[in-house]
Structure 1
Amino acid sequence: METKLHNFLNSNLLNKYLLGETSFEESKEVEHFISNYPEAASAYEKLQDNLEIIAKVGAVNVPNNILTDVLESLDESNDTKVIQLIQKRKTPWYSIAASAAAVLFAVSSFMLYQKNQQLNSENNIVDAEIMDLRSDIDKNNSKLDELSRELMKLNNPDAKKYVINGNDRAKNLKTVAYINSVEKTSMIDVITLPQLPKEQHYQIWAELQDRMVNLGILDESNRKLKQIPYMEDALALSIKISTKGDHTNENGTEVAEISLKDK
């Protein structure tokens, strides 16, 4: 309904109605909008006021001495003066009113156009913000889905939980391992890792019957559940401090260990 009102106000029907130039159907439409929409009634009243002001401005009182001058001029030369008087005849007030109404309509249309452009710009900004919000919602939903899947793995009755605490060399170290022997999955959750020199890092190892297997690097900056390789016959898990680039078991310093055969 606001669109119809907007289109009506942008049309020239009010001006035509005021000047008596509308058809019967157009007059009914104008009177409908004036009767039912305060905005239309207000616009019509403003046009009426403007026409009255213009009519008053055009109605200038003629000084008394003008008539005497005109009569004297007629006596001197009737033909030329009559033509001159006809040429200087005042423009009818309704023509002035129509011109003023046209100017007012043009100004109103331009203002409405500017307002519409501003609204379009604001709508574009809102649309962009909505798209960003939807993108954020999708990302958050994806993270929630991932977290939900991880929690399902942790809450799986087949998953066993192993808390790995540091020894005297790393008393503040604490991680938790979740091993599911049915689904053949292993996950590690880093709780705290004491800070190391830049050239060193923590590695987690699985102890098998005949060898040690490197399961990856532990980093406290990545504080979330981390998938690690599942070792079928692992006897224990251990965490060692080693020099970056060294992936051998012999040179590492063991700071935590837990047996996997006690549960």
Structure 2
Amino acid sequence: MEDIKAYIETGILELYVLGDVTPNERLQVEEMAQKHPAVKAELDEIERSMELYARENAINPPDSLRNRVLGSTLTNFGDDNNFTAAPHREENNSYETGEDVITLPARKENSFYKYAFAASLALLIASTIALVNVYNKLQQSNGQLVAMQLQNQQFASKVNLMDRELSIFHDPSFKLLKLQGTAKTPASAVTIAFSRAKKKVMIDMGNVKLPQNDKDHQYQLWAMVGGKPVDLGVFDASADSTHMKEMKSIALADAFAVTLEPRGGSVNPTMDQMVVLGKF
């Protein structure tokens, strides 16, 4: 059922009603309508809505346009009543009888059909203008619908991310540790969440208090294991980041520290660039 709903929300049914689909897409829509009553019902509803919209928003052509179309049509067709056939002689009989043969005037055509054609043409132009307006508004609505769907997807992704981050604080296997600033940067602080069971280390980027690094440097997180530093990855102290950042996995750690290193990180920590430190 979710697939049918998603198919309907793609906008293909509206394009089918407008005739703006490929032959393959037309066959696909017709097969879906035959197989799924929901698609058939939606298709019928779109057709009724567009017919009602066209009726309510029909635009009568201005008098000047109608007069111009009628005048142009009559000029192109011409009026046969203005011309009369010139008399001529029958070559075979005139010399034999000595009499002139006069041709009868041509039958006058009924002008009703010319006016009817001109009126039909004017109505066709007005209907085309109305249909173009409906199509443009439908395209605009489809664009707005796609934008809203994209916003909803982005919002849903953010909500899911926040739910996952919130679950970290509710997971008893995670322990929070606040790394305090060193003498180099006493006001600095970094909060991490560490789970030995899951071998995960997360940095709470929303609570990072570090001087913003430049483009040539990055902060690097280290774990102290048996007195030896272990690289856990690099990060930037960006004021725009508010999420939990997952670092490299580790199962055991006696302490954690952060140093300022060249961009990309170092093999060994630069001890005189240590900015925060914390022990369990």
Q: Same fold (TM over 0.5)?
A: yes
Counterpart position of 1:29:
none
Counterpart position of 2:145:
130
CA distance, structure 2, for counterparts of residue 170 and residue 6 of structure 1: 68
CA distance, structure 2, for counterparts of residue 144 and residue 5 of structure 1: 40
Contact 2:189 2:209 in 1 (8 A): yes
Question: Partner letter of residue 278 of structure 2?
Answer: I
CA distance, structure 2, for counterparts of residue 149 and residue 3 of structure 1: 44
CA distance, structure 2, for counterparts of residue 213 and residue 157 of structure 1: 25
CA distance, structure 1, for counterparts of residue 177 and residue 230 of structure 2: 18
Structure 1 outlier segments of 4+, above 6 Å: 2-7, 88-91
Structure 2 gap ranges (5+): 1-47, 61-102
Alignment partner of 1:207 is 2:227: no
Alignment partner of 1:219 is 2:236: yes
CA distance, structure 1, for counterparts of residue 182 and residue 223 of structure 2: 17
Deviations 1:199-251 (A, max 9, x none): 43321110111411011113122622111124322111111223445331255
Question: Partner letter of residue 225 of structure 2?
Answer: L
Output the TM-score relative to the length of structure 1: 0.58
Alignment partner of 1:150 is 2:165: yes
Assess, with a 3 A threshold, how the Cα gap between structure 1 residues 215 and 89 changes in structure 2: closer, same or farther.
Answer: closer
Provide the aligned C-alpha RMSD in A. Answer: 3.6
Output the TM-score relative to the length of structure 2: 0.55
CA distance, structure 2, for counterparts of residue 6 and residue 158 of structure 1: 60
Q: What percentage of aligned pairs have identical amino acids?
A: 18
Deviations 1:32-78 (A, max 9, x none): xxxxx9x9xx9xxxxxxxxxxxxxxxxxxxxxxxxxxxxxxxxxxxx
Structure 1 gap ranges (5+): 10-36, 43-82
Counterpart position of 2:274:
254
Counterpart position of 2:200:
185
Contact 2:258 2:275 in 1 (8 A): yes
CA distance, structure 2, for counterparts of residue 5 and residue 219 of structure 1: 57
Computing the radius of gyration from Cα coordinates, the structure with the larger value is 1
CA distance, structure 2, for counterparts of residue 6 and residue 228 of structure 1: 57
Counterpart position of 1:236:
255
Mapping of residues 12-91 of structure 1, within 5 Å? none
Mapping of residues 107-118 of structure 1, within 5 Å? 107-118=122-133
Contact 1:238 1:257 in 2 (8 A): yes
